[in-house]
Amino acid sequence: MSRFRSGTKISPLLRGSLVMVAVVAVGCPDHRLAGAAKIIDGDTLEVEGRRIQLRGIDAPEGDDLCESERGVSWPCGREAADALRAFVAGRRVTCDDARLDDEGTLWGTCTVAEEDLAAWLVFEGWARADRQQS
C-alpha cells in the first residue's frame, strides 16, 4: 500500500520547496569539466565548449609584451599560451570545482594526468600566484 492515498494534498509550502529544489538542481552548472582543451591564453582555456579561468594565478594575456632583464621586449603572452598548449597537447584536461563569479567568469582548478595546470605554469615561470583569486 502506498504511503500517500490518491487525492492527498501537498501543502503549498512543501510544493513550493520541491519546485525550488528542482529549479536549483537544473540551474546549477556542472562543477567538473573534462576533455580536450583549447588554449585561449596563459591562464584561460576552453573545455567542453566552456571558457574557464585557472584559479589562483595570473599569466600574461595573449598579446602582452614583457621586458627582459636587458630591456628587450618579448611576446610573453603568446609564449605562455604556447607553453600551456604544448603541455596539454593531446591529453585529457579535467577542471574541478568550476564556479561562476559575480561577473560571470568561470573559475576552476584544472589538471592533466593529476598535475595542476596553475601550479605547473607558476613553477615553469609562465604565471605568478595570485592570492586574491585563490
Question: What pLDDT digit, counting tens, does each position of 19-47 carry?
Answer: 343 333 333 455 889 999 999 999 999 99
In-domain check, residue 21: no
Q: For position 4, what pLDDT does the model report?
A: 32
Going from the first residue of the chain to its last (134 residues), give the mean pLDDT of each consecutive group of 10, the final group possibly shorter. Answer: 42 45 41 93 95 94 91 94 96 92 92 96 95 64
Q: Which domain holds residue 79?
A: 30-129
Query: Would you say 113 and 38 are in contact if contact means Cβ atoms under 8 Å apart?
Result: no
State how many domains the chain has: 1
In-domain check, residue 66: yes
Domain containing residue 78: CATH number: 2.40.50.90
In-domain check, residue 68: yes
Per-residue cell: 114? 593529476
Q: For position 30, what pLDDT does the model report?
A: 53
Query: Would you say 34 and 94 are in contact if contact means Cβ atoms under 8 Å apart?
Result: yes
Residue keyed to cell 636587458? 70
Q: For position 95, what pLDDT does the model report?
A: 95
